[in-house]
Amino acid sequence: MNKKALIGFNIITLCLLIAIVLKEHYPQKIWHYFKKPSQKEQEKLSYWLNRDQLFKALPHDSNSIVFLGTSLTENFELNEIFHQCNYKNRGITSDVTEGILNRLDPIILDQPKKILIEAGINDLGKGVGETQMLSNYTAIIDRLQKECPKTELFIQSIFPVANTGQYPTYNNSANNAAILRANKALQALATAKGIIYIDLYPNFTANGEIKPEYVIEDGIHFNGAAYNLWAQLLAPYLQ
């Protein structure tokens, strides 16, 4: 192999190695550059950006209690259930831990009394992986502890889903098994960081999946009974 061919081969090999590393470690942020997003993905991104911009524009309140999470949190009618105007809903539909990590700025500006985090189900359902999810979660906690030193932090366990439903990547027994593993890792993370882990999972599960009386037809999202139970379980931590 001549010198030019050898250089060309080395460049191609290096590019392939870089692509593999990016896909492994930054699947949400980087890999999308290599493919055109679908219309559905574009709509979700637009929705995420609109919610994020709204949160940045809202008034700051150091007396607030922030609920940070996914669609499960977004659909949580906090003020009606708890009758507290200082409870802030910072849930975004379809959000993953990387998305939450990237939208902490307005929450940190608040310097809230408490932050309750509900996250991870979309990472697992979208194939981000348990290792990357935990890495993102750790980064979230590290930043909040560093920049909100007086804020009390809570990690909520990931909720189970139905083994069958409208979304096959979510609604399967393997995903429920991954949720169990992830919850053990999140509990260990909470212990290591000296924060509170709220184990909600056992109250919502039976036979390795979510109890049917707490989920709507899609097998993932909560009905009214589930939100009432969730509120009851959180009440002791909100005093």
The pLDDT of residue 139 is above 80: yes
The two three-digit tokens of residue 137, written as one number = 């979660």
| Domains recognised in the chain with CATH numbers | 59-237 (3.40.50.1110)
- What does pLDDT average to over the chain? 87
Contact criterion met (CB below 8 Å) for 95 and 119: yes
pLDDT per position as a tens digit, 71-128: 999 999 999 999 998 999 999 999 999 999 999 999 999 999 999 999 999 999 999 9
What contacts 43, CB < 8 A, 6 or more positions away?
A: none
Whether the model pTM is above 0.85: no
What's the start-to-end Cα distance of the chain, in Å? 72
What contacts 181, CB < 8 A, 6 or more positions away?
A: 130
The two three-digit tokens of residue 33, written as one number = 């550059």
| The residue count for the chain | 239
Inter-axis angle of helices 173-193 and 130-147, to 10 degrees?
Answer: 30
Q: Give the pLDDT score at 63.
A: 86
The pLDDT of residue 135 is above 80: yes
